[in-house]
Chains A and B, each alone.
Chain A
Amino acid sequence: MVIANPAVVSAGLDLEASFTDVLQGMGLSPGAAHLLWLPLPMLVVLVAAVVGVLVNVWLERKISAAVQQRIGPEYAGALGILQPLADGLKLLFKEDIIPARADGLLFTLGPVLVLVPVILSWLVVPFGQHLLISNVGVGIFLWISLSSIQPIGLLMAGYASNNKYSLLGGLRAAAQSISYEIPLALAVLAVVMMSNSLSTVDIVNQQTGAGILSWNIWRQPVGFVIFWICALAECERLPFDLPEAEEELVAGYQTEYAGMKFALFYLGSYINLVLSALLVAVLYLGGWGFPLPVEWVVNLTGQPIDAPLVQVITATTGIVMTVLKAYLLVFFAILLRWTVPRVRIDQLLDLGWKFLLPVALVNLLVTAGLKLAFPAFFGG
Chain B
Amino acid sequence: MTIASSTQFVCFVFLSAAVAIGALGVVLLPNIVYSAFLLGGVFLSVAGLYLLLNASFVAAAQVLVYVGAVNVLILFAIMLVNKQETMAEIPGLRLRRLLSGGVCAGLFALLLRVAFTTPWALPGPVPIGEEATIRIGEHLFSDYLLPFELASVLLLMAMIGAIVLARRDVFSSDVATGEPADQGLIEKSRTPLLLEKTN
Which A residues form the contact surface with B (CB < 8 A)? 31-32, 35, 106, 136-138, 141-142, 144-146, 148-149, 151-152, 155-156, 158-159, 167, 170-171, 174-175, 177-178, 181, 198
Contact for B67 among A32, A106, A152, CB less than 8 A: A152
Q: Mark B64-77, 1 if CB is under 8 A from A, else 0.
A: 10011101110110
Cβ contact within 8 Å between B133 and A137: yes
8 Å CB interface, B1-15 against A: 2-4
A-B contact pairs, 10 of them (CB 8 A): A138-B60, A142-B56, A145-B68, A149-B63, A151-B68, A167-B79, A167-B82, A171-B79, A174-B75, A178-B73
Give the contact-size bracket for chain B: 20 to 34
Cβ contact within 8 Å between A152 and B72: yes
Cβ contact within 8 Å between B69 and A137: no
Main secondary structure of the interface of A (DSSP, over half): helix
- Determine the distance from Cα of A35 to Cα of B2 in the docked complex, in whole angstroms: 12
**Residues of chain B with a CB closer than 8 A to A136's CB:** 56, 130
Task: Say yes or no for B33: interface residue by CB 8 A criterion.
Answer: yes
**Residues of chain B with a CB closer than 8 A to A177's CB:** 72
- Determine the distance from Cα of A171 to Cα of B80 in the docked complex, in whole angstroms: 8
Residue of B nearest to A178 (CB): B72
Instruction: Given A152-B67, A156-B37, A159-B33, decide whether A141 and B76 contact each other with a Cβ distance below 8 A.
Output: no
Q: Give chain A nearest CB distance to B161 CB in angstroms.
A: 18
**Residues of chain B with a CB closer than 8 A to A152's CB:** 37, 40, 67, 71-72, 75
- Determine the distance from Cα of A158 to Cα of B37 in the docked complex, in whole angstroms: 13
Q: Mark B47-90, 1 if CB is under 8 A from A, else 0.
A: 00000000011001101100111011101100110100000000
Contact for B57 among A31, A106, A141, A149, CB less than 8 A: A141
Lowest 4 A-B CB distances belong to which pairs? A148-B68, A137-B130, A145-B64, A145-B63
Cβ contact within 8 Å between B60 and A31: no
Task: Say yes or no for B129: interface residue by CB 8 A criterion.
Answer: yes
Cβ contact within 8 Å between B76 and A138: no
Residue of A nearest to B44 (CB): A149
**Residues of chain B with a CB closer than 8 A to A156's CB:** 37
Q: Give chain B nearest CB distance to A118 CB in angstroms.
A: 14
Cβ contact within 8 Å between A198 and B133: yes
